Amino acid sequence: RLSEIPQWSVLLLEAGGEEPFLADVPGFLGFTWGTRVDWRYEGVPGVICGGVPCPITRGKGLGGSSSINAMLYIRGNKMDYDYWARTGNTDWDFEHVLQYFKKSENNLDPDIRGDTEYHGVDGYLNVGRFPYQNEDVNHLVEALREIGYAEVDCNGKQQSGFMIAQATQKNSIRQSTNRAFLEPILKRRPNLKVVTNVRVTKILIHPQSVAAYGVEYVLEGNRHVAGSIFATKEVIVSGGAVNSPQLLMLSGVGPKEVLQPLGIPVMKDLKVGENLQDHASTPGVFFTREKHKTSQLSDILMDFLKYSEPKKEGLWASTGVNQLIAYINTKYANKSIDHPDVMGFFIHLNPKEGNEIDKVVFFPTVLRPKSRGKIIINSTDPFSSPLIYQNYFSELDDIKIHIDACNIAKQLAETSALKNAGYVLNTTFLPTENDFKTGKNPLWRDPEFSTLFSNFHLCGTCKMGPYSDRNAVVDPALRVHGVARLRVIDASVMPYIVSGNLNAPTVMIAEKGADIIKRHWRHL
The dihedral of CA 50, 498, 158, 102: what is its sign?
Answer: negative
Enumerate helices (H) and strands (E) in the chain, giving the number of each. Answer: 14, 26
Q: What is the DSSP string of 286-339?
A: EEEETTPPPPPHHHHHHHHHHHHSSS--SGGGS-GGGGEEEEE--TTS-TTSS-
How far apart (Å, rounded) are the C-alpha atoms in residues 458 and 460? Answer: 7
Q: Sheet of 211-219: strands edge to edge?
A: 198-206, 211-219, 226-230
Backbone angles phi, psi at 328, to 5 degrees: -125, 160
For 237, half-sphere exposure in the C-beta direction (CA atoms, 13 angstrom radius) is 40
Closest CA to 342 of 321, 366, 323, 309: 366
E runs forming strands in 90-172: 105-107, 125-129, 161-164, 166-167, 169-170
Closest CA to 368 of 460, 463, 441, 452: 460
How far apart (Å, rounded) are the C-alpha atoms in residues 133 and 322? Answer: 10
- Residues counted in the chain: 524
233 in Cβ contact with 226 (< 8 Å): no
**Which one is catalytic: 457, 481, 520, 523?**
457
How far apart (Å, rounded) are the C-alpha atoms in residues 49 and 391? Answer: 10
87 in Cβ contact with 465 (< 8 Å): yes
Is 342 annotated as ligand-binding?
A: no
Calculate ∠ Cα 254-258-264, nearest 5°. 75
Q: Is 139 a catalytic residue?
A: no
How far apart (Å, rounded) are the C-alpha atoms in residues 250 and 398? Answer: 33
Catalytically active residues, by annotation: 457
Binding positions for FAD are 200
